Structure 1
Amino acid sequence: MTTAIPTPAPGGDDDISRVLAEIEQHLLEPTPPHPPPATLDTTDDDTEGDTAQEAVGLGETKRVRRLRAEVAEARALAALQDDDTPMLLDTPRVRQRRKKAHEAARLHLLGQDPAMRAWQAARMRRLLVGAAMLALTLALAWSTAGVQHFAAEGAEAWSPGWIFAWLVEPFMSIALLVVVGARAYLGTRGQPLNDRKLIRIEYLFLGLTLGMNAWPYLPWALPDGTDFPLSRLVLHVLGPIVAVAVVTALPIILAAFSQLDHTGSGGGLTGLTYSANAGDRVRRTAAEVAPLIERAQLLIAAGTLPAAPSAYKIQRALRCGMDDARAVRDALAEEAA
């Protein structure tokens, strides 16, 4: 920077002195520093478009804002990591399992009701009687062919003797079913019919059916030179044997049904109720969580927990599982009672 020095006029000493004083004063004045050039960090693509004023004056660049957001997010996550509330919620699978367990417990209690037990016994008895009568009917129908072969005595097909031979087994079977059906019905009504005459009639019909089915295939009834057909004999006596078994077993089964005690007050074995099982389970669990109970009592005495805390509050205070918290709650409730 150059400053023009005025040329003094000749003969003017005052003017020269004044000019020299001005030059001296100008040289003594401090020179103002030049401001540094504004620079921007161009190493990050996110800072493109920021002005020098934003970078130097305010300092709120995109990198700063992004880092501030990351720090705030980290602080929020650190605060939420200590909260165990999501772990206390029941998952859909747990709720479904608890629902099934509750339903099973109620069905068990309903099964102990005398009316329900009587209804179940009556339904099972009807089912068994129906199956026995069906098996008896099929067994007698199976033996019809063997009785017809015995009664026909070699008569020609569709001759009167051959046709009437088919009626021998049906009228015996119908008479037998009358006796067996009457005994079965009275047995279901709690009045078993054990008259000896009826029993003899049953075995008479069954004996005739068995004899007529087996006779043509016995060794002494076979023509000379004929091998003994054991398989055919077994097949023909199978129907009468099943009929004998059904007639023998059905009255015994019905008599046992008639002696059932549906109230559970008799000497028979009865299932344990859920209340007794639950009491044993609570006492056993309370012994296992005794240290937790002591800690809960200390917290109640200190005022940290209320006098009757919920399982959720106990779980939060003791940092234990929900099952243990429920056991502690129940134990505290029993002590308070």
Structure 2
Amino acid sequence: MSAINPDPIPEPTPEEVARGLAELERHIASQAPAAPTPAESPGATRRVLRLRAEVAEAHQLADLQADDTPLMLDTPKVRKRRKQAQEAARLHALAQDPEMRAWQAARMRRLLVTAALVSLTLALAWSTAGVQAFAADGADLWSPGWVFAWLVEPFMSLALLVVVGARAYMGTRGQPLNNPILTKIEWLFLGLTLGMNAWPYLPWGLPDGTDFTVSRLVLHVLGPVVAVAIVTALPIILESFARLDHGADGTPTGPTYRANAPAPDALIARARHLMATGQLPAAAGADKIRRALGCGMDTARAVRDALRYDPTTGKD
């Protein structure tokens, strides 16, 4: 019986040898112990570990500080200041609005009229005691003459307030009452009040043994003097309010503005260009011209008048 010879083992190829070596290296690497961490390395004391942590943190901070994104964000203080600036700009723009300007003027006029009439009433009430002393003329206390003397100043004050109130109201309507008869009536009542307050304290009106003092005289004529000042100033103030032009539609509420300074030719040419391109209405008022050209109201009125003026006829 002959022996059976096994097949010879084939020689490995270079590729198989390289693949086997690579698998062997991976196996050895997987079985090798892990490298120690910095904390586990020999000599890693607490001081070394703390310093390593600081160095690592410094490297990370340096990388983060190179990024400017946080600097581009608004801080709460910046946002607050920006909000205040936008609010101030909107309030300024609102204050230039014709309706707001008209409301402010009406509010101020009402406040001034109220204060003036209250002051006038108090001034006339202040002089009531002086007029009563003059009208009573030494009458006994609570006698008919003494009691009726208190009514002299009130009925004169009511008559004066009728005239002042009428002039004040008509002044707010742009129709001031400058009738000389009304002016004489005012001065008559004020003169009587002033005279009756001052007479008992003048040198020839003082009782015997009483010295004349300027301070006593001034104190008693103070009410009538204040009343004269208010009656004189209030119609003038109200007439000025009535002439205010708030620029609502470019039409003046008082005298015409033909006497305004001529508008610059550059602004007139620019306004014509805006009208030709449709950016400005052909019959635009002074307020719209002011907004479009960014000029003052007086200049805008002059531009409006120049645009409306027809050189062929010499008329608007």
Superposition TM-score, scaled by structure 1 size? 0.60
Cα 1:98–1:276, aligned 2, differ >3 Å: closer, same or farther? Answer: farther
Listed as ranges, the matches of 1:61-210 within 5 Å are 62=39, 64=41, 66=49, 70-210=54-194
- Number of the residue aligned with 2:30: none
Matching residue's letter, 1:125 = R
- Number of the residue aligned with 1:234: 218
Structure possessing the higher radius of gyration over alpha carbons:
1
Aligned-partner Cα distance in 1 for 2:53–2:102: 72
The alpha-carbon deviation at position 230 of structure 1 amounts to 1.9
Aligned-partner Cα distance in 1 for 2:53–2:203: 105
Cα 1:61–1:122, aligned 2, differ >3 Å: closer, same or farther? Answer: closer
Question: Does 1:218 pair with 2:213?
Answer: no
Aligned-partner Cα distance in 1 for 2:39–2:64: 27
Where does the alignment leave 5 or more consecutive residues of structure 2 unmatched? 1-32, 261-289, 296-316
Where does the alignment leave 5 or more consecutive residues of structure 1 unmatched? 1-55, 278-337
Q: Deviations over 1:87-127 (max 9, x none)?
A: 22211111111111111111111111111111100000000
Aligned-partner Cα distance in 2 for 1:57–1:260: 93
Matching residue's letter, 2:181 = K
Deviates more, 1:161-170 or 1:222-231: 222-231
Cα 1:69–1:244, aligned 2, differ >3 Å: closer, same or farther? Answer: same
The alpha-carbon deviation at position 146 of structure 1 amounts to 0.2
Matching residue's letter, 2:163 = V
Question: Does 1:60 pair with 2:44?
Answer: no
The alpha-carbon deviation at position 61 of structure 1 amounts to 5.4
Aligned-partner Cα distance in 2 for 1:237–1:199: 21
- Number of the residue aligned with 2:235: 251
Cα 1:276–1:81, aligned 2, differ >3 Å: closer, same or farther? Answer: farther
Aligned-partner Cα distance in 2 for 1:86–1:276: 39
Query: Which structure 1 residue ranges, 4+ long, deviate > 6 Å from structure 2?
Result: none
Superposition TM-score, scaled by structure 2 size? 0.64
Q: Deviations over 1:312-336 (max 9, x none)?
A: xxxxxxxxxxxxxxxxxxxxxxxxx
Please state whether the residue corresponding to 1:167 is helix, strand or coil: helix
Listed as ranges, the matches of 1:259-278 within 5 Å are 259-263=243-247
Q: How much identity, in percent, do the aligned residues show?
A: 72
